[in-house]
């Protein structure tokens, strides 16, 4: 793992101001957010903003999520050591690193080959050996490692992709933003042998989920959307 000292003050301010005051109370999640070095996951030109309360660009349309949203999604997922987690949308690899720090075995899917390669190298360099980054269509899940106790989707979807529900283990938690291109609601789906329950959480705004069960390319070309999450 990276040295804890860089940006130590900024990290602690992030925990106290952005997270605790907004309802993030899970001590394990707060500890992970404190120790996983977000500054290692942002482009050099945004280094000084690494711990600000905002998403940051990592590509033409891709972002690294704001710290609060990462913490909120992780908290409701209730990650336990030994859980198998599927992440849809690797991006920079930051959310995957948080899940790994909490003891999950992570399979992270990224459709963009450039981002997948960069995240894979970054996570390896930082010592997050419990993460497999796979270049694939995340809307179809990853059946070779299913079922999963945790599935996190880090892009806004018009619907819950059916493959993700199928690959969710009994007792598993699926966290996904669902809505239109302009805004979504974060949803928590919990699966039992008897039913699939859905809880509506925070309003949010994510970049669009692409792939077979995401937003069609023709719709994306015609739309205008924000690059940043809004909570």
Catalytic annotation, residues: 65
156 secondary structure, DSSP code: B
The CA-atom distances, in angstroms, between 179 and each of 60, 170, 222 are 22, 25, 17
Residue 163: how many CB atoms within 10 A of its CB? 18
Q: Are 95 and 65 a contacting pair, CB within 8 Å?
A: yes
Q: Please tell me whether residue 64 adopts helix, strand or coil conformation.
A: strand
- CA 86 remoteness from chain centre: 10
> What b/e string do you get for 77-113 counting C-beta neighbours within 10 Å, with b at 16 or more?
bbbeeebbbbbbbbbbbbbbbbbbbbebbbbbbbbbe
Token look-up 């599935």 returns 151
Question: CA-to-CA distance for 140 and 162, rounded, in angstroms?
Answer: 8
């Amino acid at each position: 793992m990276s040295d804890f000292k860089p940006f130590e003050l900024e990290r602690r301010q992030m925990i106290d101001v952005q997270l605790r005051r907004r309802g993030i109370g899970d001590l394990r999640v707060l500890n992970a957010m404190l120790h996983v070095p977000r500054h290692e996951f942002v482009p050099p030109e945004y280094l000084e903003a690494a711990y600000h309360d905002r998403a940051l660009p990592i590509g033409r349309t891709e972002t690294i999520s704001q710290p609060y949203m990462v913490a909120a999604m992780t908290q409701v997922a209730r990650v336990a050591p030994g859980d198998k987690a599927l992440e849809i949308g690797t991006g920079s690899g930051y959310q995957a690193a948080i899940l790994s720090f909490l003891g999950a075995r992570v399979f992270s899917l990224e459709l963009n080959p450039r981002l997948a390669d960069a995240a894979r190298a970054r996570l390896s360099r930082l010592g997050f050996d419990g993460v497999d980054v796979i270049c694939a269509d995340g809307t179809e899940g990853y059946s070779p490692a299913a079922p999963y106790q945790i599935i996190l989707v880090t892009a806004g979807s018009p619907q819950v992709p059916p493959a993700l529900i199928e690959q969710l283990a009994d007792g598993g938690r699926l966290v996904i933003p669902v809505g239109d291109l302009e805004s979504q609601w974060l949803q928590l789906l919990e699966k039992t042998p008897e039913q699939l329950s859905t809880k509506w959480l925070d309003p949010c705004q994510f970049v669009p989920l692409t792939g077979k069960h995401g937003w069609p390319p023709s719709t994306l070309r015609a739309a205008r959307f924000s690059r940043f999450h809004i909570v």
